């Protein structure tokens, strides 16, 4: 039935549902100045891009509208909120005015021109002339920090994407230990001077840890607690207790369960292939880009982010949306319909609409505890650390993680039996959630009676919520971001590490045989079941992971924004406000333990895996003090260095152990890595990422 606009506008609440053409009526709904209530939105229109939860729309939990009554009650009870939303929507007509539409079109064109890789030749020549003229005019005795010419708009992005280490090394040779990089529209100062680095890496004054990338900021909304200089040390302590070295034994069972289920699924793929004789000869094919991506996501979402969602939420879809959200973090913030960024924004709304109801109770509980502690971060932190330490102790005492059988069963946790699944698709894994750890006994039961904080939230988001509260971000929405930020910290870097380790190991039969020999020693000593003790006794396999991260570091390193000028040597002063990086690839190139100072080469031999694979990829160098690299920046250095490093070693060692015990690996396209691109992360060229598994 046809309902004219003025009929709609009589209502206090207006329901918006998406449809094939019905989505187009959203602008009319907004114009009414009523309270707009919507289901989680999947599609973009120019109007949905302007919608902000709680500001001009209220979104129910799911497409079934199962919580619509609660939403209605909430709005009725909170007339201030309802009125604010209606008032916000009344302003919408301004956007539809002639000026509003012109402004939108102009922005669209600007975004489009930024995204365009093509610049008309006449414009290019003109720009070049202006650029050269300006540079000649401005020539001054000051030290230059970049070449006279850079590609307009693209800057150094293409060269960095192709061969980052060699490119950074060439800049270092030309400009010395400070130079600038123009990447994806931002200028970064790369600092390779140890004395200057020491000042900003070990001091908290002078520089803030921050990721001032526009897309990242819009998609994460709340600044990470590590950028809060005052509260960072306490937040870091809780974070360390949650996922640092002392938490590894607690985290071992869920990690093993997730990795095992993924590797087994690759093996099942293998079995299917081996049924065909011809395929058996060719070996088993595993697409490692997607496989590593899925495993990295499962580890970060299932084990670390760990939020218990209602059964109505499709867990596979939740992960898909998580991937979509992460895909937008480091790209251009162009929200035109269909763009990666627009999809990421929509995924953010979708995810928040699911996470917020799931953690509402927990958030209320935390708020009560916070008030009871008079908002004192230290008191709350002590309590949380005590709880985490107790879990770690129970884990050791109860054998959680030390015993392979317990591990295979999810560490005997009640959470695993409730939410676990064979493919690791649960959103909360055993022992990871913060309270359901293995181990029993009277004392444990007694402690179980004690009310635990945030019992339906993962260990790392718990620390995030604390950091947010300390920074006065106390809303439910902000706490939900703790879950998303956890996934962001762990997923991309982990999946790239899994991928690059698989690639390098598959390229070296020698290294595989060394890992295999170590596995045989480990099996003889600790038994065939993979246990926490066994994984802690694999020095060679761990060296393989470190060597991979030395050669192919997934992250540039810690990013800082200077809050005061930074003097580097006698000549250069990097200005306040500058974005600085101690680029890990470059620091690994100029490692004094490995580099002889030869600047005649394109890339030092110890980094040049393209032309000197056997000489460059040498895990053994980590095994003795004389040959051990001196610079290792893959996880950052100093006060903000990565808290997840030991966890990553454990995760990758488990994967390698499980694979190498059963298979020999090789790449179907041996030069896969040479043909890959590296910005923002390693991405093989299409169709080149197949790894062949041959049964031992």
Judged by CB under 6 A, does residue 239 bind ligand HEM? yes
CB 402 within 8 A of CB 392: no
**CA atoms within 13 Å, Cβ hemisphere of 153:** 14
> Residue 123: left (phi > 0), alpha (psi -120 to 50), or beta?
alpha
Q: CA gyration radius for the chain?
A: 27
Question: Pattern of binders to ligand HEM over 616-645, x per CB under 6 A?
Answer: ------------------xxx-x-xxxxx-
Closest Cα to residue 553, out of 660, 659, 664, 642?
A: 642
Q: Whole-angstrom Cα distance, residue 253 to residue 407?
A: 4
Choose between 321 and 493: whose C-beta lies nearer to ligand HEM: 493
637: exposed, middle or buried (Cβ count in 10 Å: 0-12, 13-18, 19+): buried
Choose between 335 and 484: whose C-beta lies nearer to ligand HEM: 484
Q: Whole-angstrom Cα distance, residue 582 to residue 570?
A: 19
Choose between 304 and 356: whose C-beta lies nearer to ligand HEM: 304
Choose between 284 and 645: whose C-beta lies nearer to ligand HEM: 645
Reduce the DSSP state of residue 264 to 3 states and report it: helix
Judged by CB under 6 A, the residue of 395, 416, 419, 493 near ligand HEM is 493
How far CA 102 is from CA of 25, 42, 134, 563, in Å, comes to 20, 27, 34, 38
Residue 9, marked binder:
no
Judged by CB under 6 A, does residue 647 bind ligand HEM? yes
CB of 557 to ligand HEM, least distance (A): 5
Q: Under rule CB under 6 A, which residues in 156-175 are in contact with ligand HEM?
A: none
Listed ranges 361-369, 550-558, 621-629, 659-667: which one lies at the site for ligand HEM (CB under 6 A): 550-558
Judged by CB under 6 A, the residue of 41, 236, 588, 666 near ligand HEM is 236
Angle, in degrees to the nearest 10, between helices 340-372 and 459-470 = 70
CB 325 within 8 A of CB 219: yes
Question: Pattern of binders to ligand HEM over 185-224, x per CB under 6 A?
Answer: ------------------------x---------------
Choose between 47 and 323: whose C-beta lies nearer to ligand HEM: 323
Q: Under rule CB under 6 A, which residues in 243-302 are in contact with ligand HEM?
A: 243
Judged by CB under 6 A, the residue of 254, 434, 471, 558 near ligand HEM is 558
Q: Whole-angstrom Cα distance, residue 111 to residue 343?
A: 16
Judged by CB under 6 A, the residue of 220, 395, 497, 536 near ligand HEM is 497
Listed ranges 27-35, 402-410, 432-440, 555-563: which one lies at the site for ligand HEM (CB under 6 A): 555-563
254: exposed, middle or buried (Cβ count in 10 Å: 0-12, 13-18, 19+): buried
Q: Which residues contact 26 (CB under 8 A, 6 or more apart)?
A: 16, 45, 47, 48
Alpha helices in 453-538 (DSSP H): 459-470, 476-506, 509-526, 532-535
Question: Pattern of binders to ligand HEM over 447-486, x per CB under 6 A?
Answer: -------------x--------------------------
Judged by CB under 6 A, does residue 544 bind ligand HEM? no
Choose between 234 and 555: whose C-beta lies nearer to ligand HEM: 555
Choose between 89 and 497: whose C-beta lies nearer to ligand HEM: 497
Judged by CB under 6 A, the residue of 490, 505, 511, 562 near ligand HEM is 490
CB of 638 to ligand HEM, least distance (A): 6
Q: Whole-angstrom Cα distance, residue 128 to residue 492?
A: 37
Choose between 32 and 322: whose C-beta lies nearer to ligand HEM: 322
Choose between 58 and 259: whose C-beta lies nearer to ligand HEM: 259
CB of 207 to ligand HEM, least distance (A): 10
CB of 295 to ligand HEM, least distance (A): 12
Determine phi and psi for 77, rounding to 5 degrees: -75, -20
Q: Whole-angstrom Cα distance, residue 253 to residue 433?
A: 12
Judged by CB under 6 A, the residue of 26, 377, 489, 522 near ligand HEM is 489
Q: Under rule CB under 6 A, which residues in 91-120 are in contact with ligand HEM?
A: none
Choose between 25 and 640: whose C-beta lies nearer to ligand HEM: 640
CB of 517 to ligand HEM, least distance (A): 25
How far CA 572 is from CA of 73, 111, 165, 297, 590, in Å, comes to 62, 35, 23, 42, 20
Q: Whole-angstrom Cα distance, residue 74 to residue 625?
A: 64
CB of 418 to ligand HEM, least distance (A): 23
Choose between 57 and 643: whose C-beta lies nearer to ligand HEM: 643
**CA atoms within 13 Å, Cβ hemisphere of 662:** 17
Choose between 303 and 660: whose C-beta lies nearer to ligand HEM: 303
Choose between 61 and 584: whose C-beta lies nearer to ligand HEM: 584
Determine phi and psi for 426, rounding to 5 degrees: -70, 160
Between CA 505 and CA 212, with CA 682 as vertex, the angle to 5 degrees is 135
Closest Cα to residue 663, out of 297, 285, 289?
A: 285
387: exposed, middle or buried (Cβ count in 10 Å: 0-12, 13-18, 19+): buried
Q: Whole-angstrom Cα distance, residue 451 to residue 472?
A: 24
Kindly determine how many residues on this chain lie close enough to bind ligand HEM according to the rule CB under 6 A: 27
Judged by CB under 6 A, the residue of 238, 256, 351, 648 near ligand HEM is 648
Question: Pattern of binders to ligand HEM over 671-690, x per CB under 6 A?
Answer: --------------------
CB of 466 to ligand HEM, least distance (A): 13
Judged by CB under 6 A, the residue of 211, 234, 555, 665 near ligand HEM is 555
CB of 553 to ligand HEM, least distance (A): 6
CB of 422 to ligand HEM, least distance (A): 23
Judged by CB under 6 A, does residue 557 bind ligand HEM? yes
> Residue 287: left (phi > 0), alpha (psi -120 to 50), or beta?
beta
CB of 580 to ligand HEM, least distance (A): 11
Q: DSSP class of residue 246?
A: G
Judged by CB under 6 A, does residue 410 bind ligand HEM? no
How far CA 593 is from CA of 198, 548, 630, in Å, comes to 19, 17, 6
CB of 490 to ligand HEM, least distance (A): 4
CB of 279 to ligand HEM, least distance (A): 33
Choose between 475 and 638: whose C-beta lies nearer to ligand HEM: 638
Q: Whole-angstrom Cα distance, residue 386 to residue 683?
A: 42
CB of 229 to ligand HEM, least distance (A): 11
Beta strands in 207-250 (DSSP E): 207-209
Q: Whole-angstrom Cα distance, residue 338 to residue 83?
A: 33
Choose between 453 and 643: whose C-beta lies nearer to ligand HEM: 643
Judged by CB under 6 A, does residue 504 bind ligand HEM? no
- Binding residue positions for heme: 642
- Binding residue positions: 642
Contact positions vs ligand HEM (CB under 6 A): 209, 226, 236, 239, 243, 304, 460, 489-490, 493-494, 497, 554-555, 557-558, 634-636, 638, 640-644, 647-648
């Amino acid at each position: 039935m046809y309902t004219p606009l003025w009929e709609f506008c009589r209502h206090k609440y207006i329901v918006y549902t998406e449809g094939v053409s019905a989505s187009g009526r959203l602008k009319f709904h907004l114009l009414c100045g009523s309270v707009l209530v919507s289901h989680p939105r999947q599609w973009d229109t120019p109007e949905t891009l302007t919608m902000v939860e709680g500001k001009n729309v209220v979104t129910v939990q799911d497409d079934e509208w199962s919580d619509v009554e609660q939403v209605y009650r909430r709005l009725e009870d909170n007339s201030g909120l309802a009125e604010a939303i209606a008032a916000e929507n009344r302003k919408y007509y301004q956007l539809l005015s002639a000026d509003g539409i012109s402004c939108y079109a102009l922005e669209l064109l600007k975004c489009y021109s930024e995204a365009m890789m093509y610049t008309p030749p006449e414009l290019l020549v003109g720009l070049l002339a202006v650029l050269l003229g300006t540079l000649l005019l401005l020539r001054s005795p000051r030290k230059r920090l970049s070449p006279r010419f850079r590609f307009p708009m693209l800057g150094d992005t293409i060269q960095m994407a192709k061969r980052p280490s060699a490119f950074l090394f060439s800049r270092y040779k030309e400009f010395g230990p400070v130079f600038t990089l123009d990447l994806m529209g931002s200028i970064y100062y790369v600092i390779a001077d140890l004395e200057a680095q020491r000042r900003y890496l070990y001091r908290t004054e002078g520089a803030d840890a921050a990721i001032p990338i526009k897309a990242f900021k819009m998609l994460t909304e709340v600044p990470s607690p590590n950028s809060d200089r005052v509260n960072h040390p306490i937040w870091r302590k809780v974070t360390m207790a949650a996922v640092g070295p002392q938490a590894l034994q607690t985290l071992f069972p869920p990690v093993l369960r997730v990795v095992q289920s993924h590797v087994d699924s690759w093996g099942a793929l293998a079995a299917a292939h081996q049924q065909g004789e011809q395929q058996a000869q060719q070996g088993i094919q595993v697409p490692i880009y997607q496989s590593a991506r899925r495993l990295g996501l499962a580890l970060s979402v299932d084990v670390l982010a760990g939020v218990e969602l209602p059964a109505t939420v499709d867990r596979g879809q939740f992960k898909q949306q998580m991937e979509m959200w992460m895909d937008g973090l480091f790209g251009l913030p162009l929200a035109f319909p269909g763009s990666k960024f627009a999809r990421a924004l929509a995924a953010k709304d979708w995810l928040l609409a699911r996470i917020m109801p799931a953690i509402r109770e927990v958030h209320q509980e935390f708020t009560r505890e916070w008030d009871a502690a008079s908002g004192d971060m230290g008191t709350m932190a002590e309590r949380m650390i005590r709880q985490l330490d107790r879990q770690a102790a129970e884990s050791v005492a109860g054998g959680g993680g030390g015993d392979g059988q317990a591990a295979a069963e999810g560490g005997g946790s009640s959470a695993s039996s409730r939410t676990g699944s064979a493919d690791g698709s649960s959103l909360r894994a055993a022992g990871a959630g913060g309270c359901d750890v293995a181990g029993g006994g009277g004392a444990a039961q007694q402690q179980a009676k004690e009310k635990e904080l945030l019992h339906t939230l993962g260990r790392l988001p718990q620390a995030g919520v604390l950091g947010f509260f300390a920074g006065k971000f106390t809303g439910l929405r902000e706490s939900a971001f703790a879950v998303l930020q956890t996934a962001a910290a762990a997923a991309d870097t982990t999946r790239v590490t899994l991928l690059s380790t698989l690639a390098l190991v598959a390229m070296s039969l020698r290294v595989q045989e060394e890992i295999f020999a170590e596995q045989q020693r480990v099996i003889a000593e600790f038994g065939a079941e993979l246990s926490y003790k066994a994984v802690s006794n694999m020095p060679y396999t761990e060296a393989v992971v470190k060597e991979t991260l030395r050669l192919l570091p997934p992250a540039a390193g810690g990013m800082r924004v200077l809050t005061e000028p930074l003097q580097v040597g006698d000549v250069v002063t990097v200005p306040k406000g500058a974005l600085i990086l101690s680029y890990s690839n470059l620091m690994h190139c100029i490692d004094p333990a490995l580099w002889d100072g030869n600047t005649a080469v394109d890339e030092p031999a110890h980094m040049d895996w393209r032309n000197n694979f056997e000489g460059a990829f040498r895990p053994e160098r980590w095994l003795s003090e004389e040959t051990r690299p001196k610079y290792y920046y893959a996880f950052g250095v100093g006060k903000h260095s990565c808290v997840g490093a030991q966890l990553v070693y454990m995760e990758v060692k488990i994967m390698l152990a499980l694979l190498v015990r059963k298979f020999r690996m090789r790449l179907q396209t041996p030069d896969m890595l040479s043909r890959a691109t590296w910005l923002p992360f390693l991405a093989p060229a299409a169709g080149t990422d197949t790894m062949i598994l041959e049964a031992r």
